[in-house]
Chains A and B, each alone.
Chain A
Amino acid sequence: TTRSWHFLGLENDGIIPSNSIWKKARFGQDTIIGNLDTGVWPESASFSDEGMGPIPSRWRGICQNDKDAGFHCNRKLIGARYFHQGYAAAVGSLNSSFHTPRDTEGHGSHTLSTAGGNFVEGASVFGFGNGTAKGGSPKARVAAYKVCWPPVGGNECFDADILAAFDIAIHDGVDVLSASLGGLPTPFFNDSLSIGSFHAVKHGIVVVCSAGNSGPADGTVSNISPWQFTVGASTMDRQFPSYLVLGNKKRLEGGSLSPKALPPNKFFPLISAADAKAANASADDALLCKAGTLDHSKVKGKILVCLRGENARVDKGQQAALAGAVGMVLANNELTGNEVIADPHVLPASHINFTDGVAVFTYLNSTKSPIAYITPSTTELGTKPAPFMAAFSSKGPNTITPEILKPDITAPGVSVIAAYTEAQGPTNQDFDKRRVLFNSVSGTSMSCPHVSGIVGLLKTLHPDWSPAAIRSAMMTTARTMDNSMEAILNASYFKATPFSYGAGHVRPNRAMNPGLVYDLNVNDYLNFLCALGYNQTLIKMFSERPYTCPKPISLTNFNYPSITVPKLHGSITVTRTLKNVGPPGTYKARIRKPTGISVSVKPDSLKFNKIGEEKTFSLTLQAERAGAARDYVFGELIWSDAKHFVRSPIVVKAA
């Protein structure tokens, strides 16, 4: 990606400081990152093997190109496989294009290059966001597991294929698995991603998953198992502004990556898509600029105003262009608030926020002959505030196990520029005949591989750390402040909560030296399942070893780096164990208490003398009689030796 690693502090205007995790972790050298996705475009420079040494001898994967001789792997892209029998069972017969791991969609190349792509100079989307594209672990080896195919009923990736890919990827020897996909929140053992992740984590593989794009509604987060590392999406400090100038001289800032521009300073008639509806269409559908709902004669030569929602943003641009519009204004609805996403539209366009959208519709309704102008897009860096949470990013609470806070963390996932397929245009629509080497895409799919790339670095730096220790290091060092030193906001400019960002926004340089970690092993996960009521006989079937449920067993004492109590009756004491992974030191506890809840820690000081030493503490939460929280309230616990700050969110709801 061309900006996000700067935003995350790994580099400063192209200079990589000596204390950057990139240098300390040898750029993720020889860590193997697998990606469950739409495959890979192997010709991309992001996957060139120039300067790479021999493939690690422990690698057991293959390059499955027996039916696509044009597909090749190398010392960077060391493996590629495809899994389509589950998809075939759902759709029927498959043609020859399904016998290859080649990415003809773009998503898989984008995510894999974000996690582990090379440095590639001169990357941009139509000249915007120009810079050096970089993966999080640029010296890592990568492997593509193609499990996603053209959509059927809105779904692309089927459980049977996902499970097959996990089974083989574990065998192949990946260190990290990145999965930017998911479904509705599902019980652990009815979910291929959860089952596959469980087996992967048992083998020391870190599984990083996207939280989903079903926000901003509460309870929408997917990939909610405690052995998965679940990632929400937020912005970075880069925008692609394209201004909408109205006839009343109002100048509204929107965003776009359209390479096309209107003639300088020339105003065009402005029309609401609802007023341009075709005879057989509803005004509601037309306002969304759905296919076939617009009247060409009403739109031709005008700037069309479409409302965000339902069909893809880039599809609205295409529908506007097909109807003869010279430009498009895409206005947010109330839900999407201030989240403006710059897309590579096929016509001059400006995506504006909800407030400005209201201003545009007011202007349209109050003016006889409304006119407007759209300025060409530009690239703006260092924007504030950043990060803020994307409206689309799925949110907690965790609907299956509310005691586990999900998502775990947030990372850049808006307007991320990374490698792309050359089999599709940048809007992924059939009509788009343009081709790009890099594309700007938004989603928790894009934030997930940022975290996978950082995990790759930590795997190189600390090969002995467990998946849970790596996750803990990243969570407890995450921040909840933006670049204005204010609390991270959501896209509606309200203060976001841990239900949006989990522990906060990832800070890779801090994660390499967290001081202490909340570690977990396979037995802890089995105990967790036992506490949920899974019976011992069932647990033995996937434990691979004799297992007895401990007594007493408590879900709230599960050693997760975040602390969530969804039904607080009076008071509760939870215990946690910290493991020292840094120098000897004495850590003191500090609490920011949730409103209406009193919190105490015992002991409030922990002394660690050596690496690997573990100390247990208890945290007592009590609802205060007056003003006990009936809705979720948020606080935090910080253990600090003045050098390290080990921060855990506290999330409580009084019963």
Chain B
Amino acid sequence: IERSYIVYLGAHSHGPEPSSDDLDQVTESHYEFLGSFLGSRDNAKEAIIYSYTRHINGFAATLQDHEAAQIANHPKVVSVFLNKGRKLH
């Protein structure tokens, strides 16, 4: 089943004031990382919904459940969880 997931990678190695090049590099690293599971950088680029580049390191992407499970086992990954809905209180 294909669903949207969040892949949380922790914090960034760039400093608190990243340049636009730094941010581009983060996004590129997300493409490369996810691409290694989806077969290509282009597949990853298509799957990614958000690339979190500033303070939170991670991305949201549309993935098949087995892909999400594979990614969760990677040592660079803190957690992988479904893009669930929350309620207003």
Contacts and interface: CB of A to CB of B under 8 A. Distances in A.
Contacts of B85: 90, 152-159, 183
Interface of chain A, main secondary structure: helix
B69 interface: no
Contacts of B50: 85-86, 160, 163-164
A89 B83 contact: yes
Interface string B67-89: 00000000110110111111111
A162 interface: yes
B10 A85 contact: no
B54 A160 contact: no
A160 B49 contact: yes
A589 interface: no
A192 B6 contact: yes
A159 B83 contact: yes
Contacts of A192: 6, 86
A159 B78 CA distance: 16
B34 interface: no
A196 B84 CA distance: 15
Interface centre among A153, A155, A203, A211 (most CB of B within 10 A): A155
Contacts of B8: 189, 195
Interface in B7-28: 8-12, 16
A444 B4 contact: no
B56 A159 contact: no
Nearest to B48: A85
A168 B6 contact: no
Interface string A537-554: 110111110000000000
Nearest to B9: A541
A190 interface: yes
Interface residues of B, number: 32
B55 A159 contact: no
A277 interface: no
Interface centre among B8, B12, B52, B55 (most CB of A within 10 A): B55
A256 interface: no
A443 interface: yes
A419 to B, nearest CB: 16
Contacts of A339: none
A323 interface: no
A182 B89 contact: yes
B83 A160 contact: yes
A163 B82 CA distance: 13
A212 B60 CA distance: 25
B11 A159 contact: no
Contacts of A213: 89
Interface centre among A189, A203, A211, A537 (most CB of B within 10 A): A189
A410 interface: no
Contacts of A148: 88
Interface in A160-210: 160, 162-164, 166-168, 170-171, 180-183, 189-193, 195-196, 199, 202-203, 210
B54 A168 contact: yes
Contact of A171 (B55, B60, B83): B55
A589 to B, nearest CB: 36
A511 B53 CA distance: 36
A451 B9 CA distance: 31
Interface in A44-83: none
A556 interface: no
Nearest to B4: A89
A154 B52 CA distance: 26
B89 A181 contact: yes
A37 interface: yes
Contacts of A155: 84-87
A444 B76 CA distance: 37
A448 interface: yes
Nearest to A203: B55
Contacts of B52: 163-164, 167
A89 B56 CA distance: 20
A444 B89 contact: yes
A114 interface: no
A212 B49 CA distance: 28
Contacts of B53: 167
A234 interface: no
Contacts of B4: 86, 89-90, 160
A199 B55 contact: yes
Given A85-B50, A543-B11, A193 B86 contact: yes
A443 B86 CA distance: 15
B54 A171 contact: yes
A90 B83 contact: yes
Contacts of A541: 9-11, 76, 78
A193 B8 CA distance: 13
A183 B87 contact: yes
Interface in B42-59: 49-50, 52-58
> What 8 A-B pairs come out closest when comparing CB atoms?
A155-B85, A541-B10, A160-B60, A542-B10, A89-B4, A210-B89, A445-B89, A190-B81
9 contacts: A85-B49, A85-B50, A90-B4, A158-B86, A159-B83, A167-B52, A193-B86, A542-B57, A543-B10
Given A171-B54, A541-B78, 12 more contacts: A86-B4, A86-B50, A155-B85, A155-B87, A156-B86, A157-B85, A159-B83, A163-B56, A166-B55, A167-B56, A443-B88, A544-B11
